[in-house]
Amino acid sequence: MTKNDKSQKSDLEMLDESSNKIGMGGYLNMGKDEIIYKQRMQRRKEIQEKRLDQRDKEKGLIIVFTGNGKGKTTSSLGLILRTLGHGHNVAIIQFIKGGWIPGENKALKVFGESLKWHSFGEGFTWETQDRKQDKLLVGKSWKKSISYLRDNSYKLVVLDEINIAIKLGYISIEEVLKEIKERPSLTHVVLTGRGASEKLIESADLVTEMKLIRHPFREQGIKAQEGIEY
């Protein structure tokens, strides 16, 4: 790291600390004087603008959605919509899943050739009951994934439930990391599924862990419903 890098990092840290000290505003601030409040928020705005000016780098991100809570695939779908909305190409490859057609698959057909959707799995392990076949299908999914990871015309590649495939021993984390690190520099890749590998987490730019607090299946015996689970 150069002297300038260290100086820039110090500036960013100071701006971040100042931003946190002022806070978000609203009624979280205890002061009742509206003039003082406006001055604080003006200062917050000035700091925020400086923070944004200094964060001017762009790169393809490795994004991980993991945890036992619901919302991992759903979060990736939000990124898919966002990316398609900007006119970019997107590919989603579903590992494990595939025994049913989810609502999002049907809805996203309106984007035509801009979205490639592949589901090679045949369902959960307790449904397939054939780990050799499961591993074979994961291999097929991974081969298709590689073709998109190496294609710079795709802005976003989603590897849905690949974390489960890695955890179950159907594919090695080393092989996955090798390919995603060799992808085009501005291609984003999302890896979803509970039990994400520590090696993957350490290599990622953004990691979100969904925490299970309440779930209707567990507490109330509510079955999977259209629009919620699929």
Please identify every residue annotated as catalytic: 68, 70, 72-74, 82, 124, 126, 161
- DSSP string covering the chain: --HHHHHHHHHHHHHHHHHHHH---GGGS----HHHHHHHHHHHHHHHHHHHHH-------EEEEESSSS-HHHHHHHHHHHHHHTT-EEEEEESS--SS--HHHHHGGGGGGGEEEEE---S-HHHH--HHHHHHHHHHHHHHHHHHHT-TTEEEEEEETHHHHHHTTSS-HHHHHHHHHTS-TT-EEEEE-SS--HHHHHH-SEEEEPPPS--HHHHH-PPP-TTTT-
